[in-house]
Structure 1
Amino acid sequence: MEVKEKWSDLKNIRSRMPAKRLASLLLAAVFAVMGAMTSLAGPAGDSGPAVQSGELRGVWISYLDWNKWPKDYSGFKNAVDSTMDISVQNGMNAVFVQVRPDGDAMYPSKYFPWSKFASGQQGKDPGYDPLAYVVQSAHQRGLKIHAWVNPYRITGYLNRYSDLSSSNLAVAWANDGDPANDRWVLLHQGEYYYNPAVPQVRQIVIDGVREIVEGYDVDGIHFDDYFYPGVNDGSAELWFDKPEYLASGSSKNIADWRRDNVNQLVKGIYSTIKSIKPGVVFGISPEGYLKNLRSDTRLFSDIDAWMTQPGYIDYIMPQIYWGFEAKSGGQTAPYAYSNCLKDWIELKKKGNVTLYAGLALYKTGTDAKDGNEVPEWLRYNDIMRRQVLEGRGTGQVSGYCFYDFSSLTRTAAAAEVANVTALFR
């Protein structure tokens, strides 16, 4: 979810807007007023198509949100309670809380060091169990909680190699003098990742999920879209795990071999969860454009297998982070919301996986580029609402999740939040 993280750090619309954007913003203001006056999507109280029973209404609470919470126990509890209260007030019935962002943990783990976002410094014990309280706070308010895990990433936004503790496996393996594990972690374009080709690495990720499911009353385990980074098999600097492929003797082409590496992890996670608590669900939130997911140079997410074969996932939550009017080459983009949603529904019909839609609340009220002279996100204040209504109208979408929590209280998103959450009350 790298794009999301960057947007979260923009502090809404940039305060130093280039002069050439001023005219567009003025025009956007006119569009916004006209949109409100004409009520493009109908009355705010009109719920449109009937609400599907058990509809999920979730919000992602990322490590960026967590990082803002106080580190002392009293302050932490107050911040968590406020977060859950705001979620309920806006009609949510589920929270997707990031508990392992960068090979670290927001709880006492046998495998991963304490996260700097939990205690202020990786490896430092905050003196309490943050995840235990998050689960308690959510359930006290009737919210389901999905523990959001990033399986492979070790460094990333706000977490550099210099931030890693000596107990971090990436550091420990690099310093243990054992050449057998030197490639269990790979440096790729300045970032560190667990190597998806290594069975021992996959088992550590699986064991990390096991300890969450065994130790906490979570309702689900959730992965986002970070699997393989982009690779170039023609360059030694960018071919990532190609040496493991060459050593494997596999008869598969390298793209299918990489997909199989991810599939082995996903199946291992699913079977582990079900062996412990069959009622806990496992789902993935991949990039929203299916063409990109089927790429032979990045991600290697075997979405077609996950959606059509048993034993992989219970639900899929694609990040359909485009509006209705997204343009490409002057035409409606193939990844515009309606086009994307239609493609996902067609794939959903081939199997038994529940479909939820991930929506870009973080873009609302901003100048996020979408191929239009004035972005759709500035011209309307009911995009989220219309996206939910369209999903309901298909009878195939079982719920919605919004990125991110901070946008529930962001001033520029207030009208969008009000319009969509009116459907949930």
Structure 2
Amino acid sequence: MGRIGRRGFVLTAAGVLAALATGGDAAARPVGSSAGAARRRHKPLPEFRGMWLATVANRDWPSLPGLTADEQRCELLDHLDTAVARKLNAVVLQVRPTADALWPSPHEPWSQYLTGVQGQHPGWDPLGTAVREAHLRDLELHAWFNPYRVATHTDPFRLVENHPARVHPEWVLPYGGKLYYNPGIPEVRAFVQDAMTDAVSRYDIDAVHFDDYFYPYPVAGQVFDDDETYARYGAGFPDKAAWRRDNIDRLIREMADRIKKAKKNVAFGISPFGVWRNVATDPLGSDTTAGVQTYDNLHADTRKWIKQGWIDYVVPQLYWHIGFGPADYAKLLPWWSDVVRGTGVRLYAGEALYKAGDPAQPAPWQDPAELSRHLTLARTYAEVSGHCFFSAKEVMADPVGAMARVVADHYPTRVLPPA
């Protein structure tokens, strides 16, 4: 059976893929012909082909704060058109980078990365436009939220006066030169869910997407000072680390429930740091020696979320080259494949396109074919259902041709994303 497409016409996987592969002449020959049979045998399978479109600090878009609404819109459409040209089928747009919003939120101010002034209306609705224009181009639009990051500085008085972090200063902790909401406070967890679910309810997004920022990455010589919160809420836990993990577990489980209650067809995906735990720390861990482990340092038990079925897809950030000693792409990919096997959670590999050609990176990243080799390796693991590239600026500029090589080697036609 077909499914009703977002543009109001009936889509069938066979029909769309055949049309994409043959330039639209899928009905030119009888279904029973040998040519038709050959197409059916060799038609490309659905896979996720995504790119992250980062807005924090104007990383990818808008290129500068303070552009006009027309200039911002044109830049956004250029990125969507580039995704189509690269034969991608999904864009992961960062719509809540720092406890703010790229839509008219009743909970949080307009993002400063639009106008340069937090709380100032940009004159248009970026999220609404992104959803509509992505779907017109047969792109999925995944709304990317950062749950707890409040600001990339530590001065609350730089926030707009009615910012929730100023109204509730007891919710906020400084750490590592940034401000964060305290994940251990139940009211904080409820608030950030309210703020994010608003976008789910109001827009036809295809997925909610979190990245790797839960409890902050460790900063030498600094303490995330939640002792008072732990004393108040941590009874019954063996230590603070277990309590912190439970806080993040609750965020994920509750958010999953709220998404499905709002709209059953909206997926929930997580893009964690690529190492859950090293095998020396835990026999269930990967054959790595990475300095950061999400379970221990970010208090995010990503493996548990997969095994419990709280998420629909996972995009581990496998941002290392094949053969990298502390965290080898060729060892992490099979580890994640094993974790998702039999769970129903889809696995997409997060790819470090931004490293390709960067002179500060090791020699393998100077070879434009490195990322293409990642996709070749991934083809040998049935659990890998696609890839996502960081990020849109490099997808567009492609300074050493690494993205073009991926497209030439692996993306001969556009395909549907996994259902």
TM band (smaller chain): 0.7 to 0.9
| Deviation for aligned residue 1:130 | 1.3
Residue 229 (structure 2) aligns with? 244
Relative to structure 2, which stretch is displaced further, 103-112 or 66-75?
66-75
| Deviation for aligned residue 1:210 | 1.4
| Deviation for aligned residue 1:107 | 0.6
Q: TM-score, normalised by structure 1?
A: 0.78
Residue 286 (structure 1) aligns with? 272
| Deviation for aligned residue 1:275 | 0.5
Separation (CA, whole Å) in 2 of partners of 1:387 and 1:316: 17
| Deviation for aligned residue 1:261 | 0.1
Count of matched residue pairs: 351
Pairing partner for 1:355 from 343, 347, 356: 347
Q: TM-score, normalised by structure 2?
A: 0.79
What does 1:182-201 correspond to in 2, within 5 Å? 182=170, 184-201=171-188
Residue 321 (structure 2) aligns with? 323
Separation (CA, whole Å) in 2 of partners of 1:270 and 1:208: 14
CA contact (8 A) 2:61 2:75 kept: no
SS where residue 336 of structure 2 aligns? helix
- 1 or 2 for the larger relative contact order (CA 8 Å, sep ≥6)? 1
Unaligned runs of at least 5 residues, structure 1:
1-49, 175-181, 327-332
Separation (CA, whole Å) in 2 of partners of 1:257 and 1:52: 45
Unaligned runs of at least 5 residues, structure 2:
1-41, 278-291, 414-419
| Deviation for aligned residue 1:67 | 3.0
| Deviation for aligned residue 1:161 | 4.6
SS where residue 65 of structure 1 aligns? coil
Pick closer, same or farther for the CA change 1:51–1:189 going to 2, 3 Å.
farther
Pick closer, same or farther for the CA change 1:384–1:232 going to 2, 3 Å.
closer
Separation (CA, whole Å) in 1 of partners of 2:156 and 2:232: 28
| Deviation for aligned residue 1:119 | 2.2
| Deviation for aligned residue 1:122 | 0.5
Describe the superposition over 1:304-350 as per-residue Cα deviations: whole angstroms up to 9, x where unpaired: 2101013x211110000001132xxxxxx141110111111121126
CA contact (8 A) 2:295 2:301 kept: no
SS where residue 142 of structure 2 aligns? strand
Work out whether 1:299 is the aligned partner of 2:295.
no
| Deviation for aligned residue 1:72 | 2.2
Separation (CA, whole Å) in 2 of partners of 1:232 and 1:287: 16
Separation (CA, whole Å) in 2 of partners of 1:147 and 1:279: 14
Aligned-pair identity in percent equals 36
What does 1:211-230 correspond to in 2, within 5 Å? 211-230=198-217
What does 1:16-415 correspond to in 2, within 5 Å? 53-63=45-55, 64-68=59-63, 71-156=67-152, 161=156, 163-174=158-169, 182=170, 184-230=171-217, 238-248=223-233, 249-291=235-277, 292-296=292-296, 298-310=297-309, 312-326=310-324, 333-349=325-341, 351-370=343-362, 375-378=363-366, 380-413=367-400, 415=401
| Deviation for aligned residue 1:154 | 0.8
- RMSD over aligned CA atoms reads 2.1
Residue 21 (structure 2) aligns with? none
| Deviation for aligned residue 1:231 | 5.7
Describe the superposition over 1:94-113 as per-residue Cα deviations: whole angstroms up to 9, x where unpaired: 00000000001011111111
Pick closer, same or farther for the CA change 1:241–1:400 going to 2, 3 Å.
same
Amino acid at match of 1:303: T
SS where residue 298 of structure 2 aligns? coil
Separation (CA, whole Å) in 2 of partners of 1:359 and 1:212: 27
Separation (CA, whole Å) in 1 of partners of 2:217 and 2:357: 31
| Deviation for aligned residue 1:51 | 8.3
CA contact (8 A) 1:114 1:123 kept: yes
Pick closer, same or farther for the CA change 1:51–1:65 going to 2, 3 Å.
farther
Amino acid at match of 1:259: R
Amino acid at match of 1:308: K
Amino acid at match of 2:49: R
Residue 30 (structure 2) aligns with? none
Separation (CA, whole Å) in 2 of partners of 1:162 and 1:409: 37
SS where residue 95 of structure 2 aligns? strand
